[in-house]
Amino acid sequence: MQTPSDNPHARHLIALLDRATAALGEELGRRLDAAGYGDIRETHGCVFGHIGPDGARLTELAERAGLTKQAVGEVATELQQLGYVERLPDPDDGRAKIIRLTERGHEAQRAGFAILDDLEAEWASRLGPERVEGMREALAELLGVPLPAGV
Amino acid sequence: MQTPSDNPHARHLIALLDRATAALGEELGRRLDAAGYGDIRETHGCVFGHIGPDGARLTELAERAGLTKQAVGEVATELQQLGYVERLPDPDDGRAKIIRLTERGHEAQRAGFAILDDLEAEWASRLGPERVEGMREALAELLGVPLPAGV
DNA sequence: CCAATGTCAGGGCCACTGAAATGC
DNA sequence: CGCATTTCAGTGGCCCTGACATTG
């Protein structure tokens, strides 16, 4: 199954990048499921992936994820019902609410990040660490994402 | 706008790969639009990206794209209405139909591939060709996509 | 009065599952 | 008859635009 390479498009970066993203996403989902987080889907990444220990505002999350406030708000509501986040009034701004991970939310985030680290390590063991790091640096440079010097 | 890097997730390959895919896809759309193909959307790639000069069966396209026959069939119907493909009965198999690019369809496919080549060349000029080729080879190896020796 | 925050309502795109008609 | 190919019908996920109440 999956795309055979009997067509020229298979070599295009957009195809390779897309498939690689999908491969990581699917495996992440599988392992999260196996780890007891079967109710977490890929969409939820717009919250888990951009929220820090102190929580964040909806607007902030939406900006970081490149999505609308409405879209992220819907995800936040779902994660709230699942018990992964809570909404607290912002003491400094009556309009805003702080979206914060619950204890279980923190566990899920750590589990997800750990799985992603594992997957990258598996890639590194297949390709050699330099090639994986070369890819990360190349992508970060292209996208303008600063990678901290120390790792 | 776009994802700031004030969170650890920004360094994860899945985030970088996803953003890179989106960046290429959006720019492809913009340039196709500018080239007079404003009615072609990203979804159409499941046909344009996997169809050869002799056309292909629906089942074949679906397999290559990793989508269901129904999904690709809907795209094919839309592209047919737009005049980019035609459906011909398969002379060897009464059940099947051959989906083939029309003349305009071929032009569009060539235009799209040329734009993707241009975008990759622009990346190469920013990063150095070795780094882009290194990325392509790394991804192809990870995904099991054989890259032809020549090039 | 204007801007920012979050939410409600509605819609569109996309790809899925299920079921059917036809031909091998 | 079993299986492959295509298509019709229905559904759900996901993210959008627009409008609104509330607060800074």
- Sheet of strand B85-89, all strands in order from the earlier edge strand to the far edge: B56-57, B97-101, B85-89
Say what angle helices A129-143 and B103-127 make with each other, to 10 degrees. 100
Kindly report the nearest CA distance between residue A94 and chain B, in angstroms. 25
- State residue B1's pLDDT score: 40
Spatial contact of A120 and A132, defined as CB atoms under 8 Å apart: yes
Spatial contact of A71 and A46, defined as CB atoms under 8 Å apart: yes
∠ CA(A73), CA(B17), CA(A52), 5° rounding? 40
The pTM score is 0.93
DSSP class of residue A5 equals S
Q: Which residues 54-93 of chain A have a CB under 7 Å from nucleic chain C? A: 57-60, 69-70, 73, 76-77, 87, 90, 93
CB atoms under 10 Å from CB of B147, counted, come to 16
Per-residue pLDDT of chain B (151 residues; tens, 9 = 90+): 444 445 667 799 999 999 999 999 999 999 999 999 999 999 999 999 999 999 999 999 999 999 999 999 999 999 999 999 999 999 999 999 999 999 999 999 999 999 999 999 999 999 999 999 999 999 999 999 988 765 4
Kindly list the residues from chain A whose CB atom is less than 8 angstroms away from the CB atom of residue B146. Answer: 5
Interface probe with A: pick from B16, B50, B113, B115, most Cβ of A within 10 Å = B16
> B12 by DSSP, 3-state: which?
coil
SS3 per-residue string spanning B48-70 = HCCCCCCCEEHHHHHHHHCCCHH
- Higher-confidence residue: A7 or A102? A102
State the pLDDT confidence band at A4, using cuts at 50, 70 and 90. very low
Which of A13, A25, A66 is facing B120, going by the closest CB pair?
A13
Strands A97-101 and B85-89: unpaired
Q: What is the mean pLDDT of chain A?
A: 94
- Higher-confidence residue: A136 or B10? A136
CB atoms under 10 Å from CB of B27, counted, come to 16
Query: Nearest residue to C23, CA vs C1'?
Result: B95
Q: How far is CA A131 from CA A89, A113, B133, B141, B144, in A?
A: 45, 21, 11, 11, 16
State the pLDDT confidence band at A142, using cuts at 50, 70 and 90. very high
